[in-house]
Amino acid sequence: MTSETMKSRIYLDHNATTSLRPAARTAAVAAMEATGNASSVHAEGRAAHARIDEARAAVAAALGVRADMVVFTSGGSEANNLALKVRDARALIVSAIEHPSVLAAARADARPLADIPVDADGIVDLDRLESLLEVAERPALVSVMLANNETGVIEPVKAVADLVHVHDGLLHVDAVQAAGRIPVRFAMLGADLATLSAHKIGGPQGAGALVIGDHVRLDALIRGGGQEYGRRAGTENVAAIAGFGAALGEIARNALPTASLRDSLEAGLKAITPEITVFGAGATRLANTTCFACPGLDAQTALMGFDLAGIAVSSGAACSSGKVTRSAVLAAMGVGDELAAGAVRISLGWTTTDNDIQACIAAWDDIVARHRSRHAA
């Protein structure tokens, strides 16, 4: 595919990765053009270290924490894995809709594990969480994401935090999808640990961060050097980290997104197919995310139709495999297999325009018309 063809396409898969922000590109390129290992004591090394310090300060400012509470990683998945390495936690409790990097790491852990169920809108069951905390060996480590990557549903993490702390537990919040879309402040979350990812907010791929409370003791996931306060060994990805910090700085200078484009999109989709289900519609959601299904229309057909129309969208569960697979999130919400098989996620970003939304609605109209025509024959 040529660069001109790519420019003519419409990208509506921003929850997978969003467009690189100009400030992030400038910072990352400048770092790549410089030479120096941030652990070296010469001038070049000190310059690289300064770029990391600047980015760390930007992450800290965004979440309202001290810079020494921020540990850089290779991305959100590594940060989530590191978060589960809390030394003193005797049990793990995770929500049923967590990102695979949390679920897989928790299931591979030797400690007792329990899942928190969710309701039909994907909101964690606080009563069930309390019951799990009452019987879990203390202290338990609980992991609940702030906003779901498939549905955009926002979880009541402050209420979760209050319950967890009453039972002497610790709370990890995966804030990867929420950052840059809703206010995310560490104290407001009530969390003990929180995860961010650069490429979800307009930074480069290859950098993430874990914010760690002062009282939390972690075992390093990667050992071998003293980088990142001894919590994550390895030469830092200076370019990606610099871009991460610059992206957060750009976000801080602009207003957070509103739901106007998403609402316009959903209204257009419903006008064509009143029978569609918008998953999580009964809960508070991110302003940029809609996940829906039309009975009888499978996701593979819909995604191919959008792609042929020059529009990039995804299914609800294409994050890790690049394939359309059964969504564990929708299964946890009690969605039947047939409807879940048609789930399409459209996620908007800072580059999305009203013209993009209208083109997406028109493409959906064509997809549905072809589908109905085939089944009427």
What are the Cα distances from residue 132, in Å, to 92, 113, 135, 157? Answer: 10, 10, 6, 16
Round to whole Å and give the CA distance between 194 and 79. 9
Round to whole Å and give the CA distance between 151 and 291. 5
Task: Kindly state which CATH superfamily the domain 3-19+257-376 is placed in.
Answer: Aspartate Aminotransferase, domain 1 (3.90.1150.10)
- Name the pTM for this structure: 0.94
Sorted by where each begins, the domain ranges of the chain are: 3-19+257-376, 22-252
Preceding amide of 22 cis, omega within 30: no
The whole-angstrom distance between residue 235's C-alpha and the CA centroid of its chain comes to 25
pLDDT of residue 12: 98
pLDDT of residue 284: 98
Ordered per-residue pLDDT tens for the chain, 377 residues: 544 545 689 999 999 999 999 999 999 999 999 999 999 999 999 999 999 999 999 999 999 999 999 999 999 999 999 999 999 999 999 999 999 999 999 999 999 999 999 999 999 999 999 999 999 999 999 999 999 999 999 999 999 999 999 999 999 999 999 999 999 999 999 999 999 999 999 999 999 999 999 999 999 999 998 899 999 999 999 999 999 999 999 999 998 999 999 999 999 999 999 999 999 999 999 999 999 999 999 999 999 999 999 999 998 655 444 555 679 999 999 999 999 999 999 999 999 999 999 999 999 999 999 998 887 76
- Angle between helices 354-376 and 260-272 in degrees, nearest 10: 20
* Phi, psi of 189, deg, nearest 5: -70, -30
Q: How far apart are the first and last CA of the chain?
A: 35
Q: How many CA atoms lie within 13 A of 43 on its CB side?
A: 0
Q: Which of 291, 294, 319, 360 is catalytic?
A: 319
Considering the domain 22-252, what is its CATH architecture?
A: 3-Layer(aba) Sandwich (3.40)
Specify burial of residue 126 (Cβ count, 10 A radius: 0-12, 13-18, 19+).
Answer: middle
For residue 223, what are its two tokens?
């050992």
* Cβ–Cβ < 8 Å for 36, 153: no
CB atoms within 10 A of CB 45: 15
pLDDT of residue 375: 76
Mark out the alpha helices in the chain (DSSP H runs). Answer: 3-8, 22-33, 43-63, 76-83, 100-108, 126-135, 157-166, 186-189, 238-252, 260-272, 299-308, 328-332, 337-340, 354-376
* Contacts within 8 Å (CB) and 24+ apart, 304-311: 305/363, 305/366, 305/367, 305/370, 306/344, 306/360, 306/363, 306/364, 306/367, 309/359, 309/362, 309/363, 309/366, 309/367, 310/8, 310/9, 310/10, 310/359, 311/9, 311/10, 311/12, 311/359, 311/360, 311/363
Q: Which DSSP letter does residue 38 get?
A: T
Which DSSP string corresponds to 223-262? -SS-TGGGTS-S---HHHHHHHHHHHHHHHTSPPPPSHHH
Provide CB contacts within 8 A for 267, sequence distance 6+.
Answer: none
319 is catalytic: yes
For residue 342, what are its two tokens?
């048609």
